[in-house]
Chain A
Amino acid sequence: MRRYISAYFEDEENLLRATKDLRDKQFSIQDVLTPFPIHGLDPILGFKRSRIPTVGFIAGAIGCILAFGFQTWVFTIDYPLFIGGKPHFAIPSFIPITFELTVLFAAFGMVFAFLIRSKLGPGANNPIHDERITDDRFMIIVDLDEAGNQDELVKEILLKEEAQEIKVKEIDK
């Protein structure tokens, strides 16, 4: 059996303070759901920096090498065609396409990484805790122990920050 407590705030500053308090007291926060990105929340929740930029760099590098390599291969090895007496290996004229494909690969790489890592996509069936989360409610979900010793402590912290609809839920696992 897994138990957790959920509550929402009407202002992001209450949410930030409550989250900080809970984290300081070593409670495990399952998730925080908000209608827009809250600045300063990531360090409180102890998130590491997203690795999406790295994915973008690697995908971009692949695109860059592929595009430049392919143009070079076509014009120097596979089909060296004379065009106005210009050199076959013409680096400047390969740059535009190389650049475009670098950007294209990086963009696709990052978007796929984002969707796959976040388990988002067409048909993704993520539970929606409350329909007001995408409107104006800031929700927090905190894990509780099975015995119920933590319930009061967590409730107290939440109430102090004017949390509403505090609910303890149990799910069988």
Chain B
Amino acid sequence: MYVSPIREPLVTGKKTYKKITDEISAPIEGKPGKAWYAGITLTVSALLLGLAMMGYTIWEGIGTWGLNKTIGWGWGITNFVWWVGIGHAGTFISAILLLFRQKWRTSINRSAEAMTLFAVLCAGLFPLIHMGRPLLGFFVFPYPNTRELWVNFNSPLLWDVFAISTYFTVSLLFWYVGLIPDIGTIRDRMKSKFKKWIYGLLSFGWTGSAKHWQRHESISLILAGLAAPLVLSVHSIVSTDFATSVIPGWHTTIFPPYFVAGAIFSGFAMVLTLLIITRKVLHLENYITIGHIESMNKIIIATGSIVGIAYITELFIAWYSGVEYEQYAFLNRATGPYWWAYWIMMTCNVISPQLLWFKKLRRNLVFTFILSIFINIGMWFERFVIIVTSLHRDYLPSSWSMYEPTMVEVGIFIGTLGLFFTCFLLFIRVFPVIAIAEVKSVLKSSGDQKKDKSEKH
């Protein structure tokens, strides 16, 4: 098989098929270390704090939040948009990179997709709590009811309901179908009868038959083909929540692509944050190599630059439109009372990723890790800036107001961070973090043993 000499190996350490199975299954079979227990104690505490604050909100009402008559969307919707965005990288890696036949995706798609599911889970909580009466949350679905009313199909908020729930369901199907063969592998390795039975149940009776593999390949490809436009649609629809309103700063046609690029940007930052730790703790450096980190950094610089251009375009169009409200909205963002949020956003999202043009920095783990945290923060502030600074000074100066979150809102946000990381920590103990079968299928063409051989020829 011809192997391009300029491509870096994707699997290093001269692996054999057996070694791949052993090393990726090791975290599931071994006992969790102290770091894992420390981690989960922390995340579960955060989750419990969040649950208490959610309970308090539902018991007392939305009045416990810092919202007022002028600013109806604060941290709640900021967090919702931020979490949905983070989910996008998983689908991007597993679907769009599959369609583009990027082999480096095989080492990171499983964990990134799991991250998608957990992030969308966290995101979905916010609109539900924001309703104030989450028990009536099912009102958003069109079902025959005694009120004899249907939902408003013209409303982007309703599109959101369909987009987010479809996104979650299809991601779950895609992820699970991909997991079936690997669960089969785990089942065949388990010694205890009980665990064997559980994994046997979860593996759906997978045997590895050639016909099953053929169907599995076919379904993976078509699901990827479906998930690719789906992931683009989700954040586009989220952006129409804002873009179809008449608030200056929201009412712009640039929003859908700008939101999608931002979503992939923030999602990749979160993937990097998680995987840089995971590869170290689970000793997966041979599978998630520096080359993988560099590839992700390249996507970060591409999407980060799109986001930067979108910010500048917004400013230009505000000036060029000649609409004084629009002009003021942007002047107020950069120089008003929330100027610090705007400049945190600008620094973290536009300036800092430009450092990745240097190859040395792209391949530096510590730098990448710190940068990924910066981007996570920057993208959170982007959502905050869009929502709060646009709302707090609207058309009527008499209703101008300021917004500050209460401890309840902060607690709920910390709670969703806890939920996200708890889910991830449980996931790495239960399922293989790397798609075992997929890595084996690229071993011959992209492993380092073959690379050496082809260099000799």
Among B148, B204, B230, point to the contact of A115 (Cβ < 8 A): B204
Q: Are B170 and A52 in contact (CB under 8 A)?
A: no
Please provide the chain A residues from 49 to 97 with a CB less than 8 Å away from any CB of chain B in the complex. 49-50, 52-53, 56, 60, 70-71, 74-75, 78-79, 81, 83, 86, 90, 93-94, 96-97
Q: Are B166 and A101 in contact (CB under 8 A)?
A: yes
Asked if B321 lies at the interface with its beta carbon under 8 angstroms from chain A, I say no
The CA of A48 and the CA of B203, in the complex, are separated in Å by 26
Asked if A165 lies at the interface with its beta carbon under 8 angstroms from chain B, I say no
Q: B444: nearest residue on chain A (CB-CB)? A: A12
Given known pairs A103-B230, A107-B170, A133-B208, the reply for A97 and B437 (CB within 8 Å) is no
Q: Are B181 and A120 in contact (CB under 8 A)?
A: no
Least CB distance, A47 to chain B, in whole angstroms: 6
Given known pairs A75-B153, A101-B166, the reply for A37 and B217 (CB within 8 Å) is yes
Asked if B207 lies at the interface with its beta carbon under 8 angstroms from chain A, I say yes
Q: Are B207 and A96 in contact (CB under 8 A)?
A: no
Q: B438: nearest residue on chain A (CB-CB)? A: A36
Q: Size range of the interface on A?
A: 35 or more
Among A36, A108, A128, point to the contact of B181 (Cβ < 8 A): A36
Given known pairs A74-B153, A134-B188, the reply for A100 and B215 (CB within 8 Å) is no
Q: A60: nearest residue on chain B (CB-CB)? A: B226
Q: Which of A26-34, A144-152, A154-162 contacts B (4 or more CB under 8 A)?
A: A26-34
Asked if B339 lies at the interface with its beta carbon under 8 angstroms from chain A, I say no
Interface of B is mostly: helix
Q: Are A33 and B166 in contact (CB under 8 A)?
A: no
Q: Are A114 and B163 in contact (CB under 8 A)?
A: no
Given known pairs A56-B222, A134-B185, the reply for A33 and B210 (CB within 8 Å) is yes
Asked if B400 lies at the interface with its beta carbon under 8 angstroms from chain A, I say no
Q: Are B173 and A107 in contact (CB under 8 A)?
A: yes
Among A32, A41, A71, A103, point to the contact of B153 (Cβ < 8 A): A71
The CA of A119 and the CA of B206, in the complex, are separated in Å by 9
A residues less than 8 Å from B184 (CB atoms): 134
Q: B244: nearest residue on chain A (CB-CB)? A: A93
Given known pairs A31-B209, A135-B18, the reply for A100 and B226 (CB within 8 Å) is no
Q: Are A136 and B166 in contact (CB under 8 A)?
A: no
Asked if B261 lies at the interface with its beta carbon under 8 angstroms from chain A, I say no
Asked if B212 lies at the interface with its beta carbon under 8 angstroms from chain A, I say yes
Q: Are A110 and B163 in contact (CB under 8 A)?
A: no
Q: Are A50 and B214 in contact (CB under 8 A)?
A: yes
Least CB distance, B369 to chain A, in whole angstroms: 32
Least CB distance, A109 to chain B, in whole angstroms: 10
Asked if B253 lies at the interface with its beta carbon under 8 angstroms from chain A, I say no
Q: A30: nearest residue on chain B (CB-CB)? A: B209
Among B21, B202, B207, B223, point to the contact of A136 (Cβ < 8 A): B21
Asked if B162 lies at the interface with its beta carbon under 8 angstroms from chain A, I say yes
Given known pairs A35-B185, A134-B188, the reply for A97 and B162 (CB within 8 Å) is yes
Least CB distance, B305 to chain A, in whole angstroms: 28
Among A45, A90, A134, point to the contact of B206 (Cβ < 8 A): A134
Asked if A170 lies at the interface with its beta carbon under 8 angstroms from chain B, I say no
B residues less than 8 Å from A172 (CB atoms): none
B residues less than 8 Å from A115 (CB atoms): 204
Q: B206: nearest residue on chain A (CB-CB)? A: A120
Q: How many residues of B contact A (CB 8 A)?
A: 60
A residues less than 8 Å from B188 (CB atoms): 128, 131-135
Among A31, A94, A128, point to the contact of B210 (Cβ < 8 A): A31
Q: Are A34 and B210 in contact (CB under 8 A)?
A: yes
Asked if B406 lies at the interface with its beta carbon under 8 angstroms from chain A, I say no
A residues less than 8 Å from B219 (CB atoms): 50, 52, 110-111, 114
Q: A127: nearest residue on chain B (CB-CB)? A: B207
Least CB distance, B213 to chain A, in whole angstroms: 4
Asked if B169 lies at the interface with its beta carbon under 8 angstroms from chain A, I say yes
Q: Are B154 and A93 in contact (CB under 8 A)?
A: yes
Asked if A142 lies at the interface with its beta carbon under 8 angstroms from chain B, I say no
Asked if B201 lies at the interface with its beta carbon under 8 angstroms from chain A, I say yes
Q: Are B207 and A133 in contact (CB under 8 A)?
A: yes
Q: Are B212 and A99 in contact (CB under 8 A)?
A: no
Q: Are B208 and A83 in contact (CB under 8 A)?
A: no
B residues less than 8 Å from A74 (CB atoms): 142, 150, 153
Q: Are A114 and B173 in contact (CB under 8 A)?
A: no
Q: Are A118 and B215 in contact (CB under 8 A)?
A: yes
The CA of A41 and the CA of B216, in the complex, are separated in Å by 14
A residues less than 8 Å from B212 (CB atoms): 118, 120
Given known pairs A37-B437, A107-B223, the reply for A96 and B215 (CB within 8 Å) is no
Most chain A beta carbons < 10 A, residue from B188, B204, B207, B215: B207
Q: Are A111 and B177 in contact (CB under 8 A)?
A: yes
Most chain B beta carbons < 10 A, residue from A75, A90, A114: A114
Please provide the chain B residues from 169 to 183 with a CB less than 8 Å away from any CB of chain A in the complex. 169-170, 173-174, 177, 180-181
Q: Are B17 and A128 in contact (CB under 8 A)?
A: no
Least CB distance, B444 to chain A, in whole angstroms: 8
- Sorted nearest first, the 3 A-B pairs with minimum C-beta distance are A124-B205, A136-B17, A131-B188
A-B contact pairs, 28 of them (CB 8 A): A31-B209, A31-B210, A33-B208, A36-B181, A37-B217, A37-B437, A38-B210, A42-B210, A47-B210, A52-B222, A56-B222, A70-B142, A75-B153, A79-B149, A83-B152, A83-B154, A97-B159, A97-B162, A100-B159, A100-B162, A100-B166, A101-B166, A104-B166, A104-B170, A114-B215, A124-B205, A126-B207, A135-B18
